[in-house]
Amino acid sequence: MESISKEPEIERAPESPLPEWAPAINCPKCGTRLTIGRPEGSELKAEGDLCFDCDRCGASFGSVYGLPDLTPPGLDNTKAQERSHYTENVEYYLRMHSTWHRSPFYRHYHRSFLRLFDPLPPGSLILECGCGLGHDGLELMRRGHFLVATDISPGQLREARRLHRREGLGRSSLHLLADAENLPFADASFHGVLMVASLHHLSDPLKALREAHRVLKPGGILVLGTEPNRWQSKTIYPVGKALIKTVEKLTGVKVLGDEMVSEADKKAEGFFGRELETLFYRAGFRENRLLPAGYLSAALFFLCTELSQRLPFNLKLYPLEALLVILDDWLGRLPLLRKVPWHWNAWARKAP
Ligand SMILES: [Zn+2]
């Protein structure tokens, strides 16, 4: 990608433990370059020992679990709930991921969106917003990229850091608590931005996409992974819920329990394809591509996940799921079905 401009010179405190490839850190409130220092008397060994001060607006930022906390002061209710939900329930998400990551559906569509970064040469700097447990970012580092992993939940981000260090990629990654709608980075800092299943959790997705556009270098790539299609919320989910309620009524057996989903996820409906394209355009992206991600394989994956939580064993139908993944790739080529996949993977590029 010759079109991507060269890294700008970055000033840094000589004693900063941030890696030399790290982007400039800006105030998430006013956009001014933050002064990096350390609390008095403390030894500077890791990024978590740092404090970040804004000389312009007076905001200062500390750390949680040894992770620099660059979320703007006064997070709204939804964000505060997301932060605590994903921290308090981190064990649950670790358990779920240990089964998900072997599923043919999960593997196929995660590989598909990660492939969208193929044009970036090794050594590119990629930002992940909402990195969760850190598995997708890990794959990008294995290809030789540098990763700034951000999340709003300290519990999830700490797990991502553990995973990356365990895999020997601690030096290729930097972990910061940040809000996707108010990114603490200078303009044109990254060659790529990745957001997996996180855009629909945000109250202002357009603001988050504008931020992604701002921090990308000219020619930089934004990849969205597995964003839900709003179409499901209007059809399959209400029909499915009505069916299950009828079954519960007839049999007296409770099937639907309290689902382990965050408040934001309960409200979120995802995006119609046209909505996503409009959001990309309004955020400044003039090139984008939507890729259908799953039909029958997605339905089977989510059905198995739902049932496994109510059965005394994990229901896995991997050979069937693998067959459906192949069939789904064909279904996604039919003009009639292109607009109604379960999920979207998407690609957008900032003008060179
Ligand atoms: Zn400031």
Domain boundaries, given as residue ranges, for the chain: 67-235+258-349
Q: Name the one residue in this structure whose structure tokens are 């050594």.
A: 123
- Supply the pLDDT for residue 222: 98
Q: Taking Cα atoms as reference points, which of 127, 152, 151 lies closest to residue 137?
A: 127
100 CB-near residues (< 8 Å, 6+ apart): 106, 305
Check residue 15 and give its pLDDT. Answer: 52
User: How does pLDDT run across 197-207, given as a tens digit for each residue?
Assistant: 999 999 999 99
Name, in order, each residue with C-beta under 8 angstroms of 290's C-beta and a sequence gap of 6 or more. 273, 276, 277, 344, 345, 346
Cα–ligand 1 centroid distance for 162 (angstroms): 30
Per cent of the chain over pLDDT 90 is 68
Mean pLDDT of the chain: 89
Residue with the larger pLDDT of the pair 313 and 32: 32
Lowest mean pLDDT among 13-17, 61-65, 165-169, 251-255: 13-17
- Tally Cβ neighbours within 10 Å of residue 175: 28
> 244 pLDDT band (50/70/90 cuts)?
confident
Ligand 1 mean position to 24 CA, how many Å?
A: 14
Better-scored residue on pLDDT, 48 or 246: 246
- Closest listed residue to residue 231, CA positions, set 338, 335, 340, 346: 340
Q: What is the pLDDT of residue 123?
A: 97
Higher pLDDT, 8 or 64: 64
CA of 59 to the centre of ligand 1 (A): 5
DSSP at 76:
-
Q: Is the whole-model pTM more than 0.75? A: yes
Check whether domain 67-235+258-349 has CATH 3.40.50.150, yes or no: yes
Rounded to the nearest angstrom, the distance between the alpha carbon of 32 and the centre of ligand 1 is 6
Read off the amino acid at residue 297: S
What is the whole-number distance in angstroms between the Cα of residue 332 and the centre of ligand 1?
46
Average pLDDT over residues 212-229: 97
Radius of gyration of the chain (CA): 21
Local structure of residue 49 (DSSP, 8 states): G
Q: How far is the CA of 313 from the centre of ligand 1 (A)?
A: 51
Q: 82-86 long-range CB contacts below 8 Å, 24 or more apart?
A: 82/152, 82/153, 82/201, 82/262, 82/263, 82/264, 83/152, 83/153, 83/154, 84/153, 85/153, 85/262, 85/263, 86/132, 86/151, 86/152, 86/153, 86/155, 86/156, 86/262
Distance from the alpha carbon of residue 137 to the mean position of ligand 1, in angstroms: 29
- Give the model's pLDDT for residue 8: 45
CA of 33 to the centre of ligand 1 (A): 8
The token pair that represents 194 in the structure block: 């990745």
Asked if residue 285 lies in contact with residue 277, where contact means CB atoms within 8 angstroms, the answer is no
State the pLDDT at residue 209.
Answer: 98
Confidence (pLDDT) at 42: 58
pLDDT digits (tens, 9 = 90+) for 298-346: 988 888 887 777 777 888 889 999 999 999 999 999 998 999 999 999 9
pLDDT tens digits for 85-103? 999 999 999 988 988 888 9
pLDDT digits (tens, 9 = 90+) for 276-288: 999 999 999 999 9
What is the Cα–Cα distance from 352 to 350, expressed in whole angstroms?
6
Cα-based torsion angle of the residue sequence 5, 9, 12, 16 in order, rounded to the nearest 10 degrees:
50
29 CA distance to ligand 1 middle (Å) = 5
| Whole-number Å distance between alpha carbons of 82 and 270 | 17
Distance, CA 181 to ligand 1 centroid (Å)? 15
Would the pLDDT of 44 be above 60? no
Distance CA 214, CA 181 (A): 11
